[in-house]
Amino acid sequence: MARSNREIPHFYLGSAIDMSRAVAWLAQTNEKRLLPERLIYGVLLIKAVALALREVPELNAVWSEDRPVLNPSVHVGVAISLRGGGLVAPAIHDTDRLSLDELMSSFRDLVQRARAGRLRSSELSDPTVTVTSLGEEGAETVFGLIYPPQVALVGFGRLTQRPWVADGEALLQAVVNASLAADHRVLDGHRGSLFLAAVDRFLQKPARL
């Protein structure tokens, strides 16, 4: 993290995303499933980020030998808190190609092995971008530091109930603050904004994730 803060010229963008459709779809889907088969909210966020990386591929890169190197595969790193303290952010390989059920299975396996100290070296070295989510009890907004040699980190705060205007009507909706930490050597604010807009768009159609 000291290296990240010293070497990477960070810039930050944030956007509030209406999650009411995604939360409702998730609840309806899980009602029909046995407990071990249920999806968690976080996998929707991870999959939306993976799909948005296809539209703004500059973020799916690493900084190497004074230049960005784009990765043809999307390997999203997920921040996992360890029981003894600290974080690791191993990769879910080919995240954009996984169904939500496959992603849920991979995520559950990754968390278990991370906390048991049984991660593979490739899972720690392969992430092309990292997602961190503060869950239900965290702060509303997170501004993280990029994991070198990656060039971006995507953060999600906790879900909050917030007044929201939709179709000219004021409603109380579930909203999450999404943030992007990006390397200014690789990306500018315009492309970063397009990425966050893509994440939002994918989350509005959860059944298609």
168: pLDDT strictly greater than 90? no
What's the maximum distance between 2 C-alpha atoms anywhere in the chain?
52
* pLDDT confidence of residue 2: 79
* pLDDT confidence of residue 165: 80
Strand partners for 104: none
89: pLDDT strictly greater than 80? yes
Contact predicate 74/60, CB 8 Å: yes
Query: Percentage of the chain with pLDDT > 70?
Result: 100
136: pLDDT strictly greater than 80? no
18: pLDDT strictly greater than 90? yes
CA distances to 17, 44, 56, 129, 189 from 176, rounded to whole Å, are: 5, 13, 21, 20, 20
Q: Which two tokens stand for residue 74?
A: 């999307």
The residues carrying an active-site annotation are 184, 188
166: pLDDT strictly greater than 80? no
Residue among 188, 180, 191 at smallest CA distance from 13: 180
* pLDDT confidence of residue 154: 98
Question: Dihedrals φ, ψ of 192, to 5°?
Answer: -65, -40
Question: What homologous superfamily is domain 2-208 in, according to CATH?
Answer: Chloramphenicol acetyltransferase-like domain (3.30.559.10)
* pLDDT confidence of residue 60: 97
CA distances to 18, 31, 138 from 177, rounded to whole Å, are: 9, 27, 12
Average pLDDT, stretch 143-166?
Answer: 92
* pLDDT confidence of residue 126: 93
Average pLDDT, stretch 81-91?
Answer: 88
pTM of the model: 0.94
183: pLDDT strictly greater than 90? yes
